[in-house]
Amino acid sequence: DAKTTQPTSMDCAEGRAANLPCNHSTISGNEYVYWYRQIHSQGPQYIIHGLKNNETNEMASLIITEDRKSSTLILPHATLRDTAVYYCIVRVDQGGSEKLVFGKGTKLTVNP
Amino acid sequence: GAVVSQHPSRVICKSGTSVKIECRSLDFQATTMFWYRQFPKQSLMLMATSNEGSKATYEQGVEKDKFLINHASLTLSTLTVTSAHPEDSSFYICSATNRRDLNTEAFFGQGTRLTVV
């Protein structure tokens, strides 16, 4: 089972920041938070990941709370092409073998 | 980012036949590969995890004799759907990572749309 919960859907205006929340209250100390997105009928695309510090790359920023029980993905200037399902994933270490288990994700719709 | 290539992108097969899907890491060595299945309007469901040179670990409820996974090299894993039936029609996606490290992103193939008629 996925260790994350996300809102089912969100809307955002083009050009504005999109803030996608994720709860992962059972995360363990060595487990990373990953964000991927999936545009219809394509494979998921990696966005960003982090452990406890905030991270930023050319696509997005990741803000992780100090207790690590939740995080927020920020797309600073959303475009229509950012419309996708966004998945927040905790990469799980299970007895030396790691898994990438997807939850239901958030369907982000960027409106003109 | 790294490139993972899946082939074929679409396949239609007759009920009772077997279908092989290939997943290749083109510019890195994939020590671990994941295979997923996705039904319409649903999330990706992890089917199995395979580490190069060892047997795949299947998720609960996934039949290992029906979904044969081979990960014989650091750049190639295959999923064979044996004796396919219409209920096996789905979107199959592979993912690869280059070490068993929680701080390493996994990259995904473009997926294979399987239709069993």
List per-block mean pLDDT (blocks of 10 residues) for chain B, which spans 117 residues: 90 97 91 93 92 87 94 91 97 88 84 97
pLDDT at A56 over 80: yes
Reduced DSSP (H G I as helix, E B as strand, rest coil) percent helix, strand, coil of chain A, to 5: 5, 50, 45
> How distant, in Å, are the alpha carbons of A86, B35, B44, B114 from that of A37?
4, 17, 12, 22
Percentage of chain A surpassing pLDDT 70?
94
The verdict on a CB contact (< 8 Å) between B49 and A99 is yes
Residue-wise pLDDT for A58-111, tens only, equals 999 999 999 999 999 999 999 999 999 999 998 877 665 678 888 899 999 999
The verdict on a CB contact (< 8 Å) between A46 and B106 is yes
Q: How many helices (H) and strands (E) does chain A have?
A: 0, 10
The verdict on a CB contact (< 8 Å) between A51 and B103 is yes
Most B CBs within 10 Å, among A33, A41, A100, to test the B interface: A100
Q: Name the β-bridge partners of A90.
A: A33
Cβ–Cβ < 8 Å for B54, B30? no
pLDDT at A30: 83
For chain A, what is the mean pLDDT?
Answer: 92
Tokens of B23: 């997943």
Q: Which residue has the higher pLDDT, A36 or B53?
A: A36
Which residues have C-beta within 8 Å of that of residue A109, sequence separation ≥ 6?
A9, A10, A11, A12, A83
Q: Is B45 on the interface with A (CB under 8 A)?
A: yes
Q: Quick one: closest CA in B to A52, which residue? A: B103
